[in-house]
Structure 1
Amino acid sequence: MVTFGTASAAPGEIDTGRLEVGESRDGSPVGLPVAVVNGAGDGKTLYMQAASDGDELNGVGVVQQVLPQLDPAELSGTILVCGIVNYHAFQVAEHRNPIDDTKMNRAYPGDAAGTSSERIAAATYDAAVGADLVLDLHQGSTSRMLDECRVRCGTRHRLHEECLELAKVFGCGYILDQKGPDGQLARAAPDEGVPTIDPELGGCVGWDEESIQTGVEGVFNVLTHYGFLNNTLSERPQTRATGFEQYGSPNGGLVDFAVDLGDRVSRGQTLFEVTSVFGQTKAEVTADSPGIFWRSRRLPQVATGEYVCSVGTNLDTV
């Protein structure tokens, strides 16, 4: 029998329940939606979670589509799922937990006696580090971004190759292989010996069906490669960036992009112009390095110094 929160499943069974992480302001219990899929055969354990940031919904869409397709009778191993991590932010469609104004993916490994976010992080971290593999499903918030996987442990980490292999198998097409900030699950769990990646499934307001399908395919790629399912997997080369350059606006005005997501850019190539409301050019911003146009803001209006876009650099194929 495998238990996660109130979900409990014997071999060949699936169950859903709640993982209690405290109480809301009216004193009612707060429980994260969780599921256990316990395969009929022996195998590894995969932990998967979504909506660590409350407005990143594509991962929730992946969970919603993957779970009904799983037949425990045909599965070897166990899958543990937390469908919504940042419960309070999800309720109000915000990025950060409004109870303590915290970005959840900076709170790991958490503290079972700490703030709201630290308690949620601690509860989900316990499940993550008890698994053999971890998928922490994200998206580029509400900006526009490529579908990509992030390896966040750093290239010198003892588990780097295992994390990179997991990202290659997931197969978004693009990998950002760069050490992440402290407090990320994909930084913390490898320290406990668990390969972990952070698939960033595009970026949108609400959710995007194309990015969700990329995530669904990625999950089934992982389940096949690591022996949970007896399927055929055809892996394809991934484009990896180990650098990531961000560009802000030198002026206030309206942004007009000269390139689109996924375009290759050369050093000195125009990325965007800033114009006045009357169409007069105020600034032209060019790429500092060759790379791939990776991410951009959604709204055209910018203030001086405000974030506009990012370019993935130091490219190779893995």
Structure 2
Amino acid sequence: MMTTLGSASASPGEFDTGRLEVGETRDGSTVGLPVAVLNGAADGKTLYVQAVSDGDELNGLGVINRLVPQLDPEEVAGQILFVGIVNYHAFQVAEHRNPIDDTKMNRAYPGDANGTSSERIAAATFEAAKRADLVVDLHQGRTSRMINETRVRCGPRHRLHRECLELAKVFGTGYVLDQKGPDGQLARAAPDNGIPTIDPELGGAVGWDEESIQIGLDGMFRVLRYYGFLDGEVERDLQTRASGFDQYGSPSGGLVTFEVDLGDPVSRGDTLFRVTDAFGELKARVTADNDGIFWRSRRLPQVATGEYVCSVGTDIDEF
């Protein structure tokens, strides 16, 4: 049976690339997202994978870029649908949000085929995602410094929570944020349509980071093997899960020096960072409110009063 996505079309045992039309640019040129379909030689499940929902988050594109050449359709069971670059307009100008409508794409799902630029892109990609049995939406922590984690965003009371958590464990970055996400995220909209979905946040980088890309690539191969797209056994290691998130801003302007590194355990009262003036004089010291893991931090040292500095994952367990 033929598998299509946009202009990409593949018979069993074949692979093809094409474009998924989502509107026009300001000069009337067609906007087509780069898409690919891999139609396995044997029957199986359908997996939907997308990247660059946020235009400056490129590690997911790096994963797809490395993954696809290693897949032989003759050795795959089922279908894999890829959208390599979702936020077309933001990607072109290396920005986070879609500059056409100043929208964060991963707040626009399930989208609107007659709506804004972002809503139309979300609607088109969501139609593709709804065809799948599993969804992997590849992200990163923007340009911040962040551990490699996988996010389960449907919320612990959702009927698909267990299946989403299972998918996260299989992906296996080592860390999972299990917390209900904001409205408009694909990782919330797809489970509402009965599709287990995860949102791997592959570190944080300017450009892309090879270590995080490799972690994402390893995760994709684990998913493909565990769910039967490829032959092979998968061992699911224990994951460290955070169910909460404490975020810290700076109490004063100045220069930040961190006292802990990404992934370090922290205890309530431990110093997270200091703020000094240009001449090294201490202005503020910020401590952890709760026990947890140092999860994410800003990349640049300079901060204004109230500006975001770092995050600590809390309510930690292993599963």
Q: Which residue of 1 aligns with 2:64?
A: 63
**Residue aligned with 1:256, SS:** strand
Q: Which residue of 1 aligns with 2:265?
A: 264
Q: Over residues 120-179 of structure 1, what are the superposed CA-to-partner deviations in whole Å (9 max), with x where a residue is unaligned?
A: 000000011110000000000000000000000000000000000000000000000000
Query: Do residues 27 (structure 1) and 28 (structure 2) align?
Result: yes
Query: Do residues 314 (structure 1) and 312 (structure 2) align?
Result: no
Letter in 1 for 2:13: G
For 2:26 and 2:61, how far apart are their aligned partners in 1? 25
For 2:208 and 2:228, how far apart are their aligned partners in 1? 30
For 1:193 and 1:232, how far apart are their aligned partners in 2? 26
Letter in 1 for 2:268: R
Q: Which residue of 2 aligns with 1:74?
A: 75
For 2:292 and 2:129, how far apart are their aligned partners in 1? 34
For 1:281 and 1:161, how far apart are their aligned partners in 2? 47
Q: Over residues 73-93 of structure 1, what are the superposed CA-to-partner deviations in whole Å (9 max), with x where a residue is unaligned?
A: 000000000000000000000
Q: Which residue of 2 aligns with 1:214?
A: 215
Matches within 5 A, 1:192-203: 192-203=193-204
Q: Over residues 217-263 of structure 1, what are the superposed CA-to-partner deviations in whole Å (9 max), with x where a residue is unaligned?
A: 00000000000000121221100000100000000000000000000
For 1:267 and 1:304, how far apart are their aligned partners in 2? 23
**Residue aligned with 1:204, SS:** coil
**Residue aligned with 1:188, SS:** helix
- Give the Å deviation of 1:116: 0.3
Matches within 5 A, 1:160-179: 160-179=161-180
**Residue aligned with 2:99, SS:** coil
- Give the Å deviation of 1:28: 0.6
Letter in 1 for 2:55: G
- Give the Å deviation of 1:305: 0.3
For 2:246 and 2:295, how far apart are their aligned partners in 1? 9
CA RMSD of aligned residues (A): 0.4
For 2:180 and 2:255, how far apart are their aligned partners in 1? 33
**Residue aligned with 1:47, SS:** strand
Runs of 4+ in 1 over 4 A off after TM superposition: none
For 2:115 and 2:106, how far apart are their aligned partners in 1? 15
Letter in 2 for 1:127: A
For 1:123 and 1:196, how far apart are their aligned partners in 2? 17
Percent identity of the aligned residues? Answer: 77
Q: Which residue of 2 aligns with 1:136?
A: 137
Q: Over residues 87-131 of structure 1, what are the superposed CA-to-partner deviations in whole Å (9 max), with x where a residue is unaligned?
A: 000000000000000000000000000000000000000011110
For 1:128 and 1:43, how far apart are their aligned partners in 2? 16
Q: Which residue of 2 aligns with 1:158?
A: 159
Q: Which residue of 1 aligns with 2:237?
A: 236
Q: Which residue of 1 aligns with 2:255?
A: 254
| Gap regions ≥5 residues in structure 1 | none
Moved more, 166-175 or 231-240: 231-240
For 2:303 and 2:226, how far apart are their aligned partners in 1? 44
| Gap regions ≥5 residues in structure 2 | none
Corresponding pairs, count: 318
Letter in 1 for 2:187: A
For 1:227 and 1:2, how far apart are their aligned partners in 2? 18
Q: Which residue of 1 aligns with 2:47?
A: 46
For 2:156 and 2:130, how far apart are their aligned partners in 1? 20
For 1:312 and 1:191, how far apart are their aligned partners in 2? 26
For 1:78 and 1:125, how far apart are their aligned partners in 2? 17
Letter in 2 for 1:202: G
* TM-score, structure 1 as length reference: 1.00
Letter in 2 for 1:243: G
Q: Which residue of 1 aligns with 2:277?
A: 276
